[in-house]
């Protein structure tokens, strides 16, 4: 795989980006005969399908919706007959893909939520029409991220059996670009920021494909140059810096150029925010000021398009989050499309950026067994070395892609794994150590723990710079008429965490109830809107009791699709908003609480 992951496509005087989004040819390959029959040179029998989008909800039959196995895309494209190197850039191919150009394999990639980039200069015919094919696969196993299995029905049909509670959407779900770059070009850059009174220092490092001199400049919102430096490594000194603040963002434009004397070879422009992140005692500090996290766990999920990139949806989600006075969200349970982060940079939202390490417990209903003491020996199986390899690779790709976003203040390296054995500690120690090596801004690292990861049993909490807990006291634990007991149990656990004397922030990254927007009942019952509101209020009582609790991210921002089952009524209904992004009653509770929190 080409080593340019983090640079979002830009067109300027030296770079050309052409979108390949639109209708593509599509075909299922249940018997995996595509390569043998040379489908990479043409599918022959195909249907038209939009890119970007998940494929599952575009059909009207069960087989297509639940299809599990190989599937193919194809697209004809023309490369302008101009100088430069030619690249293809997929925002993602879920969960794995092999790319072919004019019948020849170019690259393969494992992991469905990070870019796939390949140099196709030697494979294309400039000035002519070219054929692009992608063989993708959406199967799950215990060495993939996310984790799961494949179930074979009695009639031989295979379906996904995820170890996680969201639908296994797949396809080319993010935009595809054709890039034309100079032969010697900017591959990547990183920044590290420090503050000195009113001034700031932006240390940078640039990677290029040659040895010509590099020049870096910084411009304010009005276009005034406020700092400049030369060399592949250097420091931009900014006097009276405008800081990127929570819900009050200020972005500078950074311009990187490669020059040969007065001749410009390549240029790349991006936006960065000047801000620092630190953990001090039980406080989360942005620019040295404490911040209380308030917001949501989310999903990339919407009707028809599944997990496909959709600009209007991004806009609507941010407007809904702003309306409730939120300031943060977690990219549960995978890195989102880059457009989400760019919008968060503009709006001043904080992001906990999460690698797709979900399902690391051998259960298709892990949400229901949390806290019941189940132990599945997940980290003691022969698949662990391959899983760790994939985990480390995707951590590296996530940090490389997202390292310059001011909105990203933390990386989450797992969600609800089995953490009660020394095997899990050995596994995650390697993941955390590698993540700390990779991040140039040295952000705090964390992971989200479920109820089995109790203070007396968890073997991994000490790896985290701050604690993220997913807790459902009053829903999965002592719900409905037993909610008074639930709150007592909740207090008991928090007292036990307090007794450990960790002196780090605790953030609740999940808490919530399934709620039907049509259901009202007095007195309240589970699934009614009144119960969701009461549940929130009772949980807030616990949060406000302990000063080390420094954040509350509700599960979930909006209702989302899941695998079918008796626990789910056409998906998970824990949304504060419906899947159509309309508020439930609890949204007004949050809006009022977060106004001055």
* Structural domains of the chain in order of their starting residue, each with its CATH number: 16-181 (2.60.120.260), 186-272 (2.60.40.10), 277-594 (3.20.20.80)
Alpha-carbon torsion, ordered 512, 517, 520, 526, to 10 deg? -30
Kindly report whether the global pTM for this prediction surpasses the value 0.75: yes
Strand 176-181 relative to strand 277-280: parallel, antiparallel, unpaired? unpaired
The token pair that represents 333 in the structure block: 């349970």
CA atoms of 512 and 522, how far apart (whole Å): 19
Read off the pLDDT of residues 280-315 as tens digits, 9 standing for 90 and up.
999 999 999 999 999 999 999 999 999 999 999 999
Phi/psi of residue 175, nearest 5 degrees: -65, 155
**Which of left, alpha, beta for 192 (phi over 0: left; psi -120 to 50: alpha)?**
beta
Distances (CA, A) of 196 to 39, 179, 192, 218, 297: 59, 39, 14, 18, 34
Q: Nearest Cα to 338, choosing from 356, 314, 319?
A: 314
Residue-level pLDDT at 2: 43
Residue-level pLDDT at 312: 98
Phi/psi of residue 164, nearest 5 degrees: -150, 160
22: helix, strand or coil = strand
CA atoms of 114 and 91, how far apart (whole Å): 6
CA atoms of 519 and 529, how far apart (whole Å): 6
CA atoms of 84 and 12, how far apart (whole Å): 14
CA atoms of 47 and 304, how far apart (whole Å): 17
179: helix, strand or coil = strand
Q: Nearest Cα to 449, choosing from 527, 383, 504, 514?
A: 504
CA atoms of 307 and 174, how far apart (whole Å): 9
Residue-level pLDDT at 4: 55
Q: Rounded to the nearest 5 degrees, what angle is found at the Cα of 495, between the Cα atoms of 492 and 497?
A: 110
Handedness of CA 585, 566, 309, 330 (dihedral sign): positive
CA atoms of 453 and 552, how far apart (whole Å): 19
Phi/psi of residue 561, nearest 5 degrees: -80, 145
- 335: Cβ contacts below 8 Å, ≥ 6 apart: 113, 114, 353, 354, 355, 356, 398, 401, 402
CA atoms of 15 and 257, how far apart (whole Å): 12
DSSP notation for 464-515: -SSEEEE--BTTTBS-GGGHHHHHHHHHHHHHHHHHTT--S-EEEEE----B
Read off the pLDDT of residues 125-147 as tens digits, 9 standing for 90 and up.
999 999 999 999 999 999 999 99
CB burial of 226-237 (b: ≥16 within 10 Å; e: otherwise) equals: bbebeebebebb
Phi/psi of residue 447, nearest 5 degrees: -165, 155
Residue-level pLDDT at 366: 59
The set of catalytic residues is 416, 510
- The answer to whether 304 touches 327, Cβ cutoff 8 Å, is no
306: helix, strand or coil = strand
Q: Which long-range contacts (CB under 8 A, 24 or more apart) does 39-46 make?
A: 39/72, 39/133, 39/135, 40/100, 40/103, 40/104, 40/105, 40/133, 40/135, 41/100, 41/102, 41/103, 41/131, 41/133, 42/74, 42/131, 42/133, 43/72, 43/74, 43/133, 46/72, 46/74
Residues of the chain with pLDDT under 50: 1-2
Q: Tell me 241's DSSP state.
A: P
Q: How many CA atoms lie within 13 A of 359 on its CB side?
A: 26
């Amino acid at each position: 795989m080409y080593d340019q992951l983090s640079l979002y496509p830009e067109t300027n005087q030296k770079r050309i980006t052409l979108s390949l989004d639109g209708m593509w040819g599509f075909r299922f390959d249940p018997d995996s005969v595509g390569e043998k029959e040379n489908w990479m040179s043409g599918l022959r029998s195909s249907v038209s399908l939009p890119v970007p989008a998940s494929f599952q909800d575009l059909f009207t039959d069960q087989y297509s919706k639940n299809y599990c196995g190989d599937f193919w895309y194809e697209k004809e494209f023309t490369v302008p007959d101009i100088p430069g190197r030619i690249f293809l850039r997929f925002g993602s191919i879920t969960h794995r893909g092999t790319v072919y150009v004019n019948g020849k394999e170019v690259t393969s990639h494992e992991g469905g939520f990070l870019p796939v980039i390949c140099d196709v200069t030697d494979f294309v015919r400039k000035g002519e029409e070219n054929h692009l094919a992608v063989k993708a696969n959406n199967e799950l196993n215990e060495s993939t991220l996310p984790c799961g299995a494949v179930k074979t029905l009695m009639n031989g049909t295979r379906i996904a059996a995820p170890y996680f509670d969201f639908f296994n959407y797949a396809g080319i779900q993010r935009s595809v670009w054709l890039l034309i770059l100079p032969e010697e070009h900017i591959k990547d850059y990183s920044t590290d920021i420090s503050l000195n009174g009113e001034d700031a220092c932006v240390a940078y490092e640039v990677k290029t494909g040659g040895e010509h001199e590099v020049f870096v400049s910084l411009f304010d919102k009005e276009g005034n140059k406020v700092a400049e430096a030369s060399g592949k490594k250097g420091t931009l000194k900014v006097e009276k810096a405008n800081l990127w603040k929570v819900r009050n963002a200020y972005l500078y434009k950074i311009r990187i150029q490669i020059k040969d004397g007065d001749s410009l070879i390549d240029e790349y422009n991006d936006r960065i925010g000047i801000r620092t992140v630190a953990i001090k005692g039980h406080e989360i500090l942005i620019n040295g000021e404490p911040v209380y996290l308030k917001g949501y766990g989310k999903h990339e999920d919407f009707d028809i398009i599944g997990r496909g990139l959709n600009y209007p949806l991004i806009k609507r989600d941010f407007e809904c989050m702003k309306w409730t006075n939120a300031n943060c969200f977690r990219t549960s349970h995978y890195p989102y499309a880059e457009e989400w982060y760019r919008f968060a940079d503009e709006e001043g939202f904080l992001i906990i950026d999460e690698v797709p390490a979900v399902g690391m417990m051998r259960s298709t209903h892990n949400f229901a067994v949390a806290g019941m003491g189940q132990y599945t020996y997940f980290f003691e199986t022969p698949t662990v070395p391959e899983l760790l390899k994939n985990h480390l690779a995707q951590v590296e790709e996530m940090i490389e892609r997202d390292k310059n976003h001011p909105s990203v203040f933390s990386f989450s390296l797992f969600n609800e794994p089995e953490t009660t054995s020394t095997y899990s500690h050995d596994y995650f120690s390697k993941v955390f150590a590698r993540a700390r090596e990779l991040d140039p801004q040295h952000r705090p690292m964390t992971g989200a723990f479920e109820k089995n990861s109790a203070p007396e049993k968890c073997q991994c909490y000490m790896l985290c710079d701050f604690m993220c807990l997913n807790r459902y006291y009053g829903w999965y634990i002592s719900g409905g008429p037993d909610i008074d007991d639930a709150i007592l149990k909740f207090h008991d656990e928090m007292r036990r965490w307090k007794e450990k004397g960790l002196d780090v922030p605790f953030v609740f990254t999940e808490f919530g109830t399934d709620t039907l927007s049509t259901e009202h009942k007095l007195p309240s019952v589970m699934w009614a809107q009144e119960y969701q509101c009461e549940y929130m209020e009772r949980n807030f009582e616990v949060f406000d009791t302990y000063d080390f609790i420094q954040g509350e991210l509700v599960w979930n921002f909006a209702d989302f699709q899941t695998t079918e089952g008796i626990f789910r009524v056409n998906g998970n209904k824990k949304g504060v908003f419906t899947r159509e992004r309309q508020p439930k009653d609890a949204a007004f509770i949050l809006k009022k609480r977060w106004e001055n929190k």
